[in-house]
Amino acid sequence: MTTLRETGNLIAGNEVAGTAVYNTAGQNIGEIEGVMIDKPTGEVAYAVMSFGDFLGIDDRHHPLPWSLLNYDTGKGGYVVKLSRRQLEEAPAYADREAPDWGDRTYESALHAYYRTNPYWYMRSGGAAHL
């Protein structure tokens, strides 16, 4: 099997897990556990994050719309423009739970919380609405 690795602007999905996430103040606030990919389009829809010691929550997983993450080459990680309060109150799930991925009601609420357009919305020809 060929080993996939980061090259130029591309990164293998298995390499995204473990990538650090920073707030705009430069604090390391956690890491990406994995990504959720829309199967029909191949588009990355969400980064599933753990915020660990930053929020004091060890077993919670926070799905973030991928559009919120900006890669910073200097940091070698992603930067999100979210406050501690926004992260603490954000939709999350525990280890033994699983969100209903694919349920548009759940995913729409997630995007509404972050005030982002759903990843499927622009693809369907919709205009920005949030």
Architecture category of domain 13-122 in CATH: Roll (2.30)
**Cα(49)–Cα(117) distance, integer angstroms:** 19
| Mean pLDDT score across all residues of the chain | 82
**Cα(79)–Cα(118) distance, integer angstroms:** 20
Domain boundaries defined on the chain: 13-122
pLDDT tens digit sequence for 30-77 = 899 999 998 888 889 999 998 766 555 556 889 999 999 999 989 999
pLDDT top residue among 1 and 73: 73
pLDDT computed for residue 130 by the predictor = 47
Q: Are strands 44-50 and 28-37 parallel, antiparallel or unpaired?
A: antiparallel
Strand order in the sheet with 93-94: 70-72, 77-79, 20-22, 28-37, 44-50, 60-65, 93-94
